[in-house]
């Protein structure tokens, strides 16, 4: 028997309409690419989103067309989020930090019709535009006064595009499974792969993100996403702030400690989200200045493992509740969030930190399983380690027009292979030990590069650390630690080894340590292990 409830589609246009109606005076504040702070409200944003929707129709945009953005976190990018998906087209956010060859591949593979680009990225795009035969034109996210001389064909300013359009638009109602946005994930090998979200997956993910045991976003919050809107829809922030009616603070291109701190304080930010590298920068700035936060309550960290030293500093020195989260582009992205349960609040401090160091516990809506090499399920006992597979309504069912990648990504039961190795405990807390391809296999036993890196960055002289496996004649692989010191010569090998001896099992100790000025990162801020393996894979270990 069918139930008797309305079949109202979950559409992205409804999110901003709700925010404009009932949180119309709540602010959206942007540090613009041009420099000044821009300030308006959800009601103002909605009026301009409707102008944009009319302008898109004027450009001849059809449902399903892909429209690309290369842009920072700004109010104009936010308007594109709602305007493009709202008319039934697909918002394709491109990570401008990708290599030019990857951007060329992505624009052509997605068959993008129009490209919306921030001033910062115009020169880069000018070099590539000749290779985008299908792109009909470019919209520079600025006004006519700041419009640069450009060789981009058919280019105009965003403000001139929307200026004379009516601020009313009748949003089309369509199937909630319609594609809403597209984000390519770039592994370290092969071509980037497109993850195509739906209106339904986006809205369901949004409900999850707002729930108290996930990120608990509510109308009292002032939220600053440091995580870029070109990286998995800023972990859903552009949508969840509208659902909750929260204030949104968009940092534009300035993501250094001083610029972020200024916005945290001036805009009463209560919750912020970003990758560990950003927080390391912020903490260094805070320590240098002797500053405190006056409103910041929660800080969400994910994308890479948050080191214990960072979690402890934020909680103890600055009184901020750290929420360690894990997810993937393929998962919209949230899979686990580290909000402690009631019984855990009474645990001794060390035990609470052990839990906070884990990547969080599973949210409702995502199912997890771990399997051994033969695909057998392993227990969720906090000890058994295996490859993590996931399932759920905001998890990809296949890559956009890429059959080979899709085929490799799912097991016979249709679960998505994350490529991460982890343990899961009885409370649903996940601890990621490694990417499957990064784990170090020493004499048949596994050494977690994440745990070793974590221990190494606990040393006050270490700015950043990476661990890779290097060939060893007896053990197959042994760990090599690569350290970026805070100050050149500030820490030496003997001291580092002594420090690690107290923190990891003896057989985990790296066989050698090298010091470097910089460590390579991917376009989303993760350590680029493939490059490190290229550079140091043949490193001769002492005694090997």
Is residue 326 close enough to count as binding ligand AMP by CB under 6 A? yes
Residue showing the smallest CB distance to ligand AMP in the complex: 329
Min CB(381)–ligand AMP separation in Å: 20
Closest CA to 349 of 318, 324, 315: 315
Nearer to ligand AMP, 302 or 469 (CB): 302
Is residue 510 close enough to count as binding ligand AMP by CB under 6 A? no
Nearer to ligand AMP, 32 or 433 (CB): 433
Active-site residue, selected from the candidate residues 185, 272, 336, 433: 185
Which one among 420, 451, 453, 511 touches ligand AMP, defined by CB under 6 A? Answer: 420
Closest CA to 272 of 222, 206, 209, 225: 225
Is residue 329 close enough to count as binding ligand AMP by CB under 6 A? yes
Min CB(338)–ligand AMP separation in Å: 9
The DSSP 8-state label assigned to residue 315 in this structure reads: I
Min CB(442)–ligand AMP separation in Å: 21
Q: Which residues of 416-440 are buried (b: 16+ CB within 10 A; e: fewer)?
A: bbbbbbbbbbeebbbbbbbbeebbb
Q: Which stretch binds ligand AMP (CB under 6 A): 89-97, 278-286, 290-298, 327-335?
A: 327-335
SS3 assignment, position 67: strand
Active-site residue, selected from the candidate residues 446, 477, 526, 531: 446
Cα dihedral 499, 504, 507, 512 sign: negative
DSSP for 488-512?
A: TTSS-HHHHHHHHHTTS-GGGS-SE
Min CB(149)–ligand AMP separation in Å: 35
Cα–Cα dist 331/420, whole Å:
13
Nearer to ligand AMP, 359 or 442 (CB): 359
Active-site residue, selected from the candidate residues 267, 330, 387, 453: 330
SS3 assignment, position 62: coil
Q: Which of residues 247-306 bind ligand AMP (CB under 6 A)?
A: 302-305
Q: Which of residues 435-464 bind ligand AMP (CB under 6 A)?
A: 435
Residue 81 contacts residue 120 (beta carbons within 8 Å)? no
User: Annotated catalytic, 185?
Assistant: yes
User: Annotated catalytic, 446?
Assistant: yes
Active-site residue, selected from the candidate residues 62, 127, 349, 441: 441
Is residue 50 close enough to count as binding ligand AMP by CB under 6 A? no
DSSP for 392-422?
A: -TTS-SS-TT-HHHHHHHB-TTSPEEEEEEE
User: Annotated catalytic, 262?
Assistant: no
Residue 75 contacts residue 38 (beta carbons within 8 Å)? yes
Element (H, E) at 476: strand 476-485
User: Annotated catalytic, 441?
Assistant: yes
Phi, psi dihedral angles at 203 (to 5 degrees): -70, -40
Min CB(3)–ligand AMP separation in Å: 36
Element (H, E) at 239: helix 237-244
> For binding to ligand AMP (CB under 6 A), which residues are involved?
185, 232, 302-305, 324, 326, 328-329, 333, 359, 418-420, 432, 435, 524
Residues tagged active-site = 185, 330, 441, 446
């Amino acid at each position: 028997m069918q139930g008797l409830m309305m079949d109202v589609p979950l559409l992205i246009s409804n999110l901003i309409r709700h925010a404009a109606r009932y949180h119309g005076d709540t602010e959206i504040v942007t540090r613009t690419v041009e420099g000044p702070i821009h300030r308006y409200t959800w009601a103002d944003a909605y009026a301009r989103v409707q102008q944009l929707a009319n302008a898109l129709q004027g450009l001849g945009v059809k449902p399903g067309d892909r429209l690309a953005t290369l842009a920072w976190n700004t109010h104009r990018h936010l308007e594109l989020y709602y305007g493009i998906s709202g008319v039934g087209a697909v918002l394709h956010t491109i990570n401008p930090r990708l290599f030019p060859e990857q951007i060329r591949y992505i624009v052509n593979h997605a068959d993008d019709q129009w490209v919306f680009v921030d001033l910062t990225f115009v020169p880069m795009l000018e070099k590539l535009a000749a290779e985008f035969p299908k792109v009909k034109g470019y919209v520079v996210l600025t006004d006519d006064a700041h419009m640069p001389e450009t060789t981009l064909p058919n280019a105009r300013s965003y403000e001139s595009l929307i200026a004379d359009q009516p601020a009313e638009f009748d949003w089309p109602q369509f199937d909630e499974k319609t594609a809403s946005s597209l984000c390519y994930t770039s592994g370290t090998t092969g071509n980037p792969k497109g993850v195509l979200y739906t209106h339904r997956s986006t809205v369901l993910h949004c409900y999850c993100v707002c729930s108290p045991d996930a990120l608990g976003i509510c109308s009292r919050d002032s939220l600053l996403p440091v995580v870029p809107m070109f990286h998995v829809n800023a972990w859903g922030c552009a949508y969840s702030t509208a659902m909750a009616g929260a204030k949104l603070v968009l940092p534009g291109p300035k993501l250094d400690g001083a610029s972020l701190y200024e916005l945290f304080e001036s805009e009463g930010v209560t919750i912020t989200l970003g990758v560990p590298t950003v927080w390391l920068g912020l903490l260094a700035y805070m320590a240098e200045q002797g500053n405190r936060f006056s409103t910041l309550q929660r800080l969400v960290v994910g994308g890479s493992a948050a080191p214990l030293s960072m979690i402890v500093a934020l909680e103890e020195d600055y009184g901020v509740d750290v929420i360690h989260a894990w997810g993937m582009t393929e998962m919209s992205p949230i899979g686990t969030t580290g909000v402690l349960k009631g019984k855990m609040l009474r645990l001794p401090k060390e035990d609470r930190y052990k839990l906070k160091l884990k990547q969080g516990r599973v949210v409702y809506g995502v199912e997890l399983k771990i399997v051994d090499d033969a695909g057998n399920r392993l227990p969720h006992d906090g000890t058994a380690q295996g490859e993590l597979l996931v399932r759920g309504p905001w998890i990809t069912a296949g890559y956009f027009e890429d059959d080979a990648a899709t085929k490799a990504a799912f097991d016979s039961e249709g679960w998505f292979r994350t490529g991460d190795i982890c343990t899961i405990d009885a409370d649903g807390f996940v601890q990621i030990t490694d990417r499957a391809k990064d784990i170090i296999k020493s004499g048949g036993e596994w050494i977690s590069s994440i745990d070793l890196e974590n221990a190494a960055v606990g040393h006050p002289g270490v700015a950043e650390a990476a661990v890779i496996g290097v060939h060893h004649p007896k053990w197959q692989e042994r760990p090599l630690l690569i350290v970026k010191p805070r100050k050149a010569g500030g820490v030496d090998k003997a001291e580092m080894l002594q420090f690690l001896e107290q923190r990891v099992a003896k057989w985990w100790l790296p066989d050698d340590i090298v010091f470097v000025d910089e460590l390579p990162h991917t376009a989303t801020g993760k350590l680029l292990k493939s490059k490190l393996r290229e550079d140091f894979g043949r490193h001769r270990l002492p005694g090997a």
